[in-house]
Amino acid sequence: MGDTRQILSVQAGDWFRLLLDKAKCPMASIDGIIRQKPGTLYHAIVTEMASGRVRSGLQMLEKTSAVNEMPRYCEAAARHYVELRASALGSVDLVAPTWHENYAITDEIRKLLKESGKIQNTRSYEVFDSSRWEVARKASARHYEKGQAVTFIRSVGGFAQGETVQVHDIAGNQVHVQTHDGRIAPVPLTRPHSFDVGQIRSIDVGVGDTILLRKNQWRLVNGHVSTVESIAGDGTIHLNSGLTIPPTYRTFTHGYCLTAFRSQSRTAEHVIVAGTSMDARSFYTALSRGRTGCDLFVPDFKVFKEQMAESLPRPSATDLIVQPPTHEERMKAILVHAQEHVRNARDMLTEARSIEEGIQGLATHAKDAWRNDLPSFRLHYALRFCHESMRRLNLLQHHERQSTRN
């Protein structure tokens, strides 16, 4: 199940589109949109975008009060988010296209929540930020740099599940890391599915904070969003969902603001989108998360519209393979070729008839010249012209017979 107009996985590519276009798998489609209430303007906007007309949907959105244009758009989006969360509206999702905007909006939200006493007893955590490398990139030593962090998704090569180490040096085709006990060991590059590469970042977490989990481990599921209920002395975080984040799990971040990719498949009562620019695929995905309404915060709406690039399908190896023509395509090409020969034959026949008429006129002229005893040299040239014209006529008739046979 999926939507080829929404964001697609980097590693898997446009696999869903290929199944539909190349494999010709039987499918059933849902024509109506049920997340938004039919008959509302929001439903009409999302329907327009779902049909591939994202720019047209953006123009419809421009005529509403949902577009907010201001220089300090990140702060405005954060304030609006806090206000909506405090109201009886229900769930609210805030989406930003880049991590830079995500961090700026998150800082502003947490500042407002601290001022109102919603976040208390904060402490600092060193968390792992994934660089989201593809498998092929993780398997090649030339992409690594000293100081990068490597966290292990599963136990492999003497490293425990959940262990995070730092890149110490790169030597040829090997990447060496330093463990917490000072040991230098090579990263098992032949097992790229067993680890992730990124950076260590420091964040503050307090009671009342919203946390987003970013790795599957034990009962902790990637993408789960929950609120911090309490923090133990050893750093263990207890969530209001009943889950516990142990001190060894450090692949999480604040969950107030999501990227367009992370927002996919989510549903909230209201969605807020904030950014300087987005492509059509990301904007459609983000704006369609709401059930009852949406808001857009941008620094310059004119620039936002102009920079919205249409998301084209990425070519795959299957797309680049030249398929042999089918029997129907071959017969169609033969028919087009035959029709071209027939047209050429008709043109030559028309020219031959014209030459024949000219020859008959010259013959009549020659007879008159003979009777009237015109100078012999004029008669001589007239007869030569008739002879050459007859030769051309015979040649054209020969070509006509050949074309007819072809």
The predicted structure's pLDDT at residue 324? 72
Q: Are residues 282 and 334 in the same domain?
A: no
Same domain, 139 and 206: yes
Whether residues 236 and 383 fall in one domain: no
Task: Decide which of 256, 288, 303 is a domain's last residue.
Answer: 303
Higher pLDDT pick, 323 / 166: 166
Shared-domain flag, residues 94 and 203: yes
Report residue 382's pLDDT band, with 50, 70 and 90 as the boundaries: low
* Judgement on whether residues 281 and 331 belong to the same structural domain of the protein: no
With respect to residue 75, please indicate whether it lies within any of the assigned structural domains: yes
User: Is residue 1 in a domain?
Assistant: no
Q: What is the pLDDT of residue 368?
A: 64
Which residue, 303, 338, 369, sits at the end of a domain? 303
Average pLDDT over residues 34-54: 83
pLDDT at 356: 66
**For range 361-380, the mean pLDDT:** 58
- Predicted confidence at residue 377, as pLDDT, reads 46
Per-residue confidence band for 389, with pLDDT thresholds at 50, 70 and 90: low
What's the CA gap between 14 and 17, in Å, rounded? Answer: 5
Q: Is residue 22 part of a domain?
A: no
Q: Do 263 and 356 belong to one domain?
A: no
- Cα separation, 243 vs 225, in Å, equals 11
Q: Among residues of the chain, what percentage have pLDDT more than 90?
A: 22
AA letter at 167: V
Domain that holds residue 226: 67-303
Dist. CA 102–CA 105, nearest whole Å = 5
Domain check: are 219 and 345 in the same one? Answer: no
* Residues 240 and 376 reside in one and the same domain: no
Asked if the structure places residue 140 within a domain, the reply is yes
Relative to beta strand 268-274, strand 92-95 is parallel
Q: What is the pLDDT of residue 73?
A: 94
Q: What is the DSSP string of 166-197?
A: EEEEEETTEEEEE-TTS-EEE--TT-GGGEEE
- Residues of the chain with pLDDT > 70: what percent? 74
8-state DSSP, 142: G
CA distances in angstroms from 296 to 12, 65, 104, listed in the order given: 30, 9, 16
In the numeric block, the tokens 């030593």 are attached to: 141
> Do 262 and 343 fall into the same domain?
no
pLDDT digits 0-9 by tens, 218-270: 788 888 889 999 999 888 999 998 899 988 888 888 989 988 877 777 888 99
For residue 395, pLDDT beyond 80: no
- Please check whether residue 37 lies inside any domain of the structure: no
pTM of the predicted model as reported, rounded to 2 decimal places: 0.66
Do both 263 and 342 map to the same domain?
Answer: no
Residue 53: is it exposed, middle or buried by C-beta count within 10 angstroms (0-12/13-18/19+)? Answer: middle
What pLDDT score does 110 carry?
93
Question: In terms of domains, do 364 and 400 share one?
Answer: yes
Do the beta carbons of residue 81 and residue 93 sit within 8 Å?
A: no
Residue 113 falls within a domain, yes or no?
yes
Range ranked top by mean pLDDT from 28-32, 329-333, 383-387, 399-403: 329-333
In whole numbers, what is the pLDDT of the chain averaged over residues?
A: 80
For residue 348, pLDDT over 60 is answered with yes
Q: Is residue 320 part of a domain?
A: no
Phi, psi dihedral angles at 104 (to 5 degrees) = -65, -45
Confidence class for position 367, pLDDT limits 50, 70, 90: low
List the Cα angle 16/17/21 in 5-degree steps: 125
Residue predicted with more confidence, 110 or 328:
110
- Does residue 211 sit in helix, strand or coil? strand
- At 255, list the tokens: 């969950």
Angle formed by the axes of helices 54-62 and 280-287, nearest 10° = 50
How much is the pLDDT for 113? Answer: 92
- Do 124 and 270 have their domain in common? yes
Q: How confident is the model at residue 1 (pLDDT cuts 50, 70, 90)?
A: very low
Got the DSSP string for 27-91?
-----S--SSPTTSHHHHHHHHHHTT-HHHHHHHHHTSTTEEE-TTHHHHHHHHHHHHHHTTS--
Report residue 289: phi and psi, to 5°. -75, -25
| 333-357: average pLDDT | 74
Residue 341 included in any domain: yes
Name the domain count of the chain: 2
